[in-house]
A and B are shown apart, each in its own frame.
Chain A
Amino acid sequence: MAETPLRARPALDGYNRTVGAVALAEVSGLALVSAAVPQGGDEAFAAALAEGLGASRPATGDSTAGDRHMARILGMQPDQLFILFESPDPDRPAESVLAALGGAAYVTDQTDSWAMLRIAGAGVRSALERICMLDLADEAFPEGRVARTVMEHLAVIILRDGADSFLLMSPRSSARSFLHAVELSVLNLSE
């Protein structure tokens, strides 16, 4: 019987394009795991986060950096955080987080559910202001700030990961439509 090896493909086939002052590229290889804090387990969770990932707990809407696995902890909602990191075991990212947190949170692997795009460059805010309702000015949305919102009717998590750089995550099932929306906004700038 013929060998038919299965290979994982990134959601947007490694899309990478620069138009004018904006670079738009898919980010792949990062693991994403959600962590829900049990009721009354705040202290245990904070201790486990410091011990296992070297990070402090961010407030909702903020993020903190861990000192292991390039981890970034995103405060998504009260009692729920997303952990973005380079998994030592790419096939089992949730297990890695479970090992690091020792059961202080309920964890769920989100890795392949979200397509990730990084949009960066001097024109990044001009490109985003056409599709994003949030105020992305320095005072309102400084580096490290994170939010769940909608762009072109699609759910998006937006993280400011640099002075002129944003990481966008949108559900993989509609990733092509999301890419189209963002790409079109970037192209509109150059006309």
Chain B
Amino acid sequence: MIIDHPLLGPRDAQEFAILGDASLIDRPDWQAEDAAKLFHDYLHLRDNPAGEHRELWFHEQGDRSWLVVTRSTLTHEVLKVELARDVAIARGRDR
């Protein structure tokens, strides 16, 4: 599998390590009234569709950046690659 890194161009998947679903970016507020339930869902509940997944990948043997990779588990096609930092900032995080 080739991941088309937004800064560096196409790189082989063996340079990367996968963390898991990109929803991990949306960490719940630990001071919320229902924090226990929110964290339960955050940690354990995942959609697992046959098809499009958004995942966090780490370019460990490269520029050490975190990426959000959208890929299809049916075709192994990589549909979109974004810097996780850009995704997080777009979702209102400060970095």
Contact residues of A between 103 and 142, Cβ < 8 Å to B: 133-135, 140
The 5 A-B pairs at the shortest CB distance, nearest first, are namely: A77-B63, A150-B61, A77-B64, A133-B12, A60-B7
Task: Decide yes or no whether B62 CB sits under 8 A from chain A.
Answer: yes
Contact residues of A between 56 and 81, Cβ < 8 Å to B: 59-61, 76-78, 80
What chain B residues lie within 8 Å of A155 (beta carbons)? 61
Asked whether, in the complex, the Cβ of B65 is within 8 Å of the Cβ of A150, the reply is no
Q: Residue-by-residue, is B1-29 near A (CB-CB < 8 Å gives 1, otherwise 0)?
A: 00000011111101100000000000000
Task: Decide yes or no whether B54 CB sits under 8 A from chain A.
Answer: no
Contact residues of A between 139 and 156, Cβ < 8 Å to B: 140, 147-150, 155
Q: Which of B10, B14, B63, B85 contacts A148 (CB 8 A)?
A: B63
What chain A residues lie within 8 Å of B7 (beta carbons)? 59-61, 78
How far apart sit A133 and B65, CA to CA, in the bound complex (Å)? 19
Asked whether, in the complex, the Cβ of A140 is within 8 Å of the Cβ of B9, the reply is yes
Task: Decide yes or no whether B40 CB sits under 8 A from chain A.
Answer: no
Task: Decide yes or no whether A190 CB sits under 8 A from chain B.
Answer: no
Asked whether, in the complex, the Cβ of A149 is within 8 Å of the Cβ of B15, the reply is yes
Asked whether, in the complex, the Cβ of B65 is within 8 Å of the Cβ of A148, the reply is no
Asked whether, in the complex, the Cβ of A150 is within 8 Å of the Cβ of B63, the reply is no
Task: Decide yes or no whether B95 CB sits under 8 A from chain A.
Answer: yes
What chain B residues lie within 8 Å of A60 (beta carbons)? 7-8, 63
Count of residues in B whose CB is under 8 Å from the partner chain = 16
How far apart sit A60 and B85, CA to CA, in the bound complex (Å)? 15
Task: Decide yes or no whether A4 CB sits under 8 A from chain B.
Answer: no
What chain B residues lie within 8 Å of A80 (beta carbons)? 64
Interchain residue pairs with CB less than 8 A apart (13): A59-B7, A60-B63, A61-B7, A76-B63, A78-B65, A78-B85, A80-B64, A140-B9, A147-B62, A148-B62, A148-B63, A149-B61, A150-B14
What chain A residues lie within 8 Å of B11 (beta carbons)? 133-134, 149
Known: A60-B8, A61-B7, A134-B11. 14 other contacts (CB 8 A): A61-B63, A76-B63, A77-B65, A78-B7, A78-B63, A78-B85, A80-B64, A133-B14, A133-B15, A147-B62, A148-B61, A148-B62, A148-B63, A150-B14
**Nearest chain-B residue to A77 (Cβ)?**
B63
How far apart sit A147 and B64, CA to CA, in the bound complex (Å)? 11
Q: Residue-by-residue, is A73-92 near B (CB-CB < 8 Å gives 1, otherwise 0)?
A: 00011101000000000000
What chain A residues lie within 8 Å of B65 (beta carbons)? 77-78
Contact residues of B between 29 and 61, Cβ < 8 Å to A: 61
Asked whether, in the complex, the Cβ of A150 is within 8 Å of the Cβ of B64, the reply is no
Distance in Å: Cβ of B17 to nearest Cβ of chain A? 12
What chain B residues lie within 8 Å of A149 (beta carbons)? 11, 15, 61-62
